[in-house]
Amino acid sequence: MTDAASPTPDRHPLMDRALVEEATRKSGLIWVRGPGIPARALWHVWHEGAACVVGDGPDEQPLPGLADGVAAEVTVRSKDKGGRLVAWAATVVELAPGSAAWEAVVAELKGKRLNAPDGEAMTDRWRRECRVVRLEPTGALSPLPEGSLAEPPQPSPATTREPVPAGLPRLLAKRRRKA
């Protein structure tokens, strides 16, 4: 059986475009690789034919290597199984803050942003401190690799929680019995 991204003579460009759009729209997370930059997981929204992301500001995801006009590779994972579905080439387009296109994309992103530290004021913060970029498909699909592409995690200021203290489960169980 041939996977969706492998080249076959019976593939049609419109089918490829539909595959990219449907897979990317349904996935909450995409992996984006810029020139000379390892792939990074980014949350996004699909808006008017492109995956749109916000970042490079405080409390937002980093977007290293995603400059205006640069080529990038986007890998889309399955939301339910987590495996790779399709990989596609994209051109990065940075939107000017306050432009009509920026406002439309930010309205979509705002609805998908979870746990924003500043609530309704986040769009003002994005205008001042962040970048909003569109990853526009070029139409080229990349073949999916045969093996794993597992790599060590990128450095991050985020930390993993410490193990739960040994006595905590007993303490919580006592509270439940009293209630």
Spans of the chain, pLDDT less than 70: 1-10, 158-160, 178-179
pLDDT at res. 131 = 96
pLDDT at res. 3 = 45
- Cα 57 from Cα 37, distance rounded (Å): 18
pLDDT at res. 90 = 96
pLDDT at res. 150 = 76
pLDDT at res. 4 = 46
pTM equals: 0.77
What is the 3 state secondary structure string of 71-120? EEEEEEECCCCCCEEEEEEEEEEECCCCCHHHHHHHHHHHHHCCCCCCHH
Instruction: Quick: pLDDT tens for 139-162.
Output: 889 887 787 777 777 777 766 677
pLDDT at res. 159 = 67
Which whole-number Å values give the CA distances from 38 to 46, 48, 118, in the listed order? 22, 27, 30
pLDDT at res. 17 = 92
Residue 45 sits at the vertex; the CA angle it makes with 39 and 47, to the nearest 5 degrees, is 120
Residue 51 contacts residue 91 (beta carbons within 8 Å): no
Give the contacts of 163 (CB within 8 A, at least 6 positions apart). Answer: none
Q: Is 43 exposed, middle or buried (0-12, 13-18, 19+ CB in 10 A)?
A: middle
pLDDT at res. 10 = 62
Domains defined along the chain, listed by start: 13-178 (2.30.110.10)
